[in-house]
Each structure stands twice: as C-alpha cells, then as structure tokens.
C-alpha cells in the first residue's frame, strides 16, 4: 500500500512538472497598446506597425489606443492602474523619465509601478533651422547666437518635452541664449518654424525627418552618440563642436508591475522577433527610429539612468509644470 502511495505521488509530481513546463496561454483575447501621443506621429506609427505584426503572430487583435495629454502622464497613469495581466501595455518613452523631475506630483512612479518588457530602440533629437537663418552648420549657429543674445527663438513640442530640454542642454553647453516658444505638439512647432515665426528647433527624428528629406528645413546636427542611418551626412552635435553632448531618447513597452513573469517573457520574445524582421526594421528606420532591442533588466537600468540624467537637465533649465 505504501508502495502504491509512493508511485501515485511520483506520478502526480511528474504530471505537475509537465504542466508547469507548458507554454503560457497568452493572449486569449485582445491586447491593447496605449500610446501617450496623438495619432499620426512617429510613436503611433511604431505602435501600429508592431500591433499589426503581433496580431498576425497571436491570432488575436492588438488594439492601439491614443491617450495624449499631460506630457504622456494620462496614458502612463491609465496603464499603471490597469489589471496586471499583460493585456494592457504602455508605449513608454524618455518623456516618462523626464516627468519624474518635471512634475512635482505624479500619480504613478515609473520605477515602482511598471515592469519593463522590451526596449524597442532610440530616437535622436535633430537640431534644425529654417532656410531664412543664414547658418549652415553648428559652429556658425553658435557664433550667431553668441553675437545676438536672445534675438532668436526656438520651438519645441511643449514645455518640458524632450526637444525643449535638448535645446536647454545645448544652450547650457554652448553658453548661448535664445528664447523658448513651446507649442502643443510637434506639428504646430514645425509650422511656425517654416513660417519664420521662430528660426530654430529641436525635434525628434520621426517628427522632422520628412521635412528634412523634402529640403524644407536644414539639419545641422543630431543629438545621439552616433549619426543616424537616414542622415549619414549630418554630424552628431558632439562631432559638430559641442563636446560631450548627448540627448537621445528611448522608446519601449512596459506593463503594470505585478504582471506575471511568463507573460512578460512571451511579450518580450514575440516582440523582439518581430522587431528583428527586415521589413519592420526598414519601415521604422525610414521613420527615424534606431531599432535596438534589449530585455527587461537592461531596459530597467536604462530607465534608471535616464531619470537621473534628465533630472540634472530639468534642474539646470528651471523647467517646471505645476
């Protein structure tokens, strides 16, 4: 009898072990990717490109929802308070790291309330001018600004946005001064640059790439550590005469912090496989994204580093949003 009980226990244990080794059944219904920006922009393109491929992979719909507002905080808070089951993801960006310092009070914490799934890649800021400004390179712009303090204006997609802080970092590192004119989004910031209401702007690569390629604006430098593939002849700002300048941004997927590890692993594995595809790489590269995937722990360290880095820039710029 004891032998029978022993055999039964072994069989139950073996069955449980096999069951535990089964792949997670996910997803079994629609998955939602929450985008903190308006439809039609670079982040929206990325989410919809990824969502369409994930729909094919999973046989379940992936719904992209745009929830812009409050510098991406509306979308972040929505996802932070969602059920931690992997069915609601946030397309997170450097804006979320900036907001830690920019806003005196947030209803979420990027490090405590989210679990990174996958780093998708980087976006550089591009320093651009309209054609009425008589400069052709960064050195010439610096000389012009130093000779005419506060005479010229630059646009950004909003107070406290990454383009705003990239410009403030540029001013700080070059000892120049120009007037900030914030807009509600990248499109109106670009419109007033083209109309010469402002002369200079920093913009994310996906937001300004089309205007650069059409020749309607001049690209003087990129903010990342490396030149970007779409603009191989445009130097980094470090190369162009601002030693040590670096202000690239990240973009990736995060989920509520208590999401099961096996679900996070499947999300990472399937998303990474799609991002490794040549057609997806080409689509996103043409839009200005530099695809560089990384798993959860690497992405978490990057978020921590970005929070510290941008806190210093926010402090130096004096930017605050009540």
Query: Can you say how many angstroms the Cα of residue 27 is from the centroid of all Cα atoms in its chain?
Result: 25
Burial of 58 (0-12, 13-18, 19+ CB in 10 A): middle
- Among 75-79, 100-104, 178-182, which stretch is predicted with the lowest mean pLDDT? 100-104
User: Looking at the DSSP assignment, which residues form a beta bridge with residue 33?
Assistant: 64, 89
Model confidence at 99, pLDDT cuts 50, 70, 90, reads very high
pLDDT in tens, 107-160: 999 999 999 999 999 888 899 999 999 999 999 999 999 999 999 999 988 888
**Higher-scoring residue by pLDDT: 123, 243:** 243
**Higher-scoring residue by pLDDT: 319, 77:** 77
Report the C-alpha dihedral over residues 43, 49, 51, 54, rounded to 10 degrees: -140
**Higher-scoring residue by pLDDT: 6, 86:** 86
Q: What's the rounded Cα separation, in Å, for the pair 242 and 147?
A: 17
Say if CB 196 and CB 178 are below 8 A apart. no
Buried b (16+ CB within 10 A) or exposed e, 278-291: eebeeebeebbbbb
Reference 174, options 129, 139, 134; nearest CA is 139
The pLDDT value recorded for residue 84 is: 97
pTM: 0.83
- Please give the average per-residue pLDDT across 34-56, as a whole number: 91
Mean of pLDDT over the chain: 89
Q: CATH number of the domain at 125-222, please?
A: 3.40.190.10
Beta-strand relationship, 179-182 and 153-156: parallel
Q: Where are the beta strands (DSSP E) in the chain?
A: 31-35, 62-66, 88-93, 114-123, 125-129, 153-156, 179-182, 200-204, 218-222, 249-256, 290-294
- Among 60-69, 102-111, 264-273, which stretch is predicted with the lowest mean pLDDT? 102-111
pLDDT in tens, 147-166: 999 999 999 888 888 888 89
DSSP per-residue string spanning 202-215 = EEEHHHHHHHHHHT
CA end-to-end span of the chain? 74
**Higher-scoring residue by pLDDT: 105, 48:** 48
53 pLDDT above the threshold of 50: yes
DSSP per-residue string spanning 249-279 = EEEEEEEETT--HHHHHHHHHHHHHHHTSHH
Is there a common fold for 31-122+249-317 and 125-222? yes
Where along the chain do its domains lie?
Answer: 31-122+249-317, 125-222
Q: In terms of residues, how long is the chain?
A: 322
> CATH fold of 31-122+249-317, please?
D-Maltodextrin-Binding Protein; domain 2 (3.40.190)
The pLDDT value recorded for residue 57 is: 97
Q: What's the rounded Cα separation, in Å, for the pair 120 and 47?
A: 11
270 pLDDT above the threshold of 90: yes
- Could you give the percent of the chain with pLDDT greater than 70? 93
169 pLDDT above the threshold of 60: yes
- Please give the average per-residue pLDDT across 97-110, as a whole number: 90
The pLDDT value recorded for residue 17 is: 47
18 pLDDT above the threshold of 50: no
pLDDT in tens, 278-306: 999 988 888 888 898 999 999 999 999 99
Model confidence at 5, pLDDT cuts 50, 70, 90, reads low
pLDDT in tens, 181-236: 988 788 888 999 999 999 999 988 888 888 998 999 999 999 988 898 889 999 99
The pLDDT value recorded for residue 80 is: 97
Buried b (16+ CB within 10 A) or exposed e, 163-181: bbbbbbbbbebbebebebb
């Amino acid at each position: 009898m004891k032998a029978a009980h022993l055999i039964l226990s072994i069989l139950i244990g073996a069955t449980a072990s096999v069951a535990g080794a089964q792949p997670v059944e996910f997803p079994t219904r629609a998955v939602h990717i929450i985008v903190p920006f308006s439809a039609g922009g670079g982040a929206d393109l990325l989410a919809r490109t990824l969502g369409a491929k994930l729909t094919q992979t999973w046989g379940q719909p992936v719904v992209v929802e745009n929830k812009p507002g409050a510098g991406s905080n509306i979308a972040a808070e929505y996802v932070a308070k969602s059920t931690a089951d992997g069915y609601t993801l946030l397309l997170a960006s450097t804006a979320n790291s900036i907001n830690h310092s920019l806003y005196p009070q947030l209803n979420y914490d990027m490090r405590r309330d989210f679990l990174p799934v996958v780093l998708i890649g980087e976006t550089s800021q591009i320093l651009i001018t309209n054609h009425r400004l008589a400069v052709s390179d960064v050195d010439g712009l610096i000389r012009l600004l130093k000779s005419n303090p506060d005479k010229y204006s630059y646009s950004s997609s909003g107070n406290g946005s990454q383009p705003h802080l990239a410009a403030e970092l540029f001013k700080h590192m070059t000892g120049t001064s120009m007037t900030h004119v914030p807009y509600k989004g990248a499109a109106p910031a670009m419109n007033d640059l083209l109309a010469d209401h402002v002369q200079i702007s920093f913009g994310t690569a996906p937001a300004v790439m089309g205007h650069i390629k059409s020749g309607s604006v001049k690209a003087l430098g990129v903010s990342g550590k490396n030149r970007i593939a779409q603009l191989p002849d445009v130097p980094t700002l470090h190369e162009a005469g601002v030693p040590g300048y670096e202000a690239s941004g990240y973009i990736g997927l995060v989920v509520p912090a208590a999401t099961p590890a096996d679900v996070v692993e499947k999300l990472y594995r399937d998303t990474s496989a799609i991002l490794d595809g040549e057609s997806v790489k080409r689509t996103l590269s043409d839009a200005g994204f530099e695809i560089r995937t990384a798993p959860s722990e690497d992405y978490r360290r990057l978020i921590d580093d970005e929070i510290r880095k941008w806190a210093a820039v926010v402090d130096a710029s004096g930017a605050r949003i009540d």
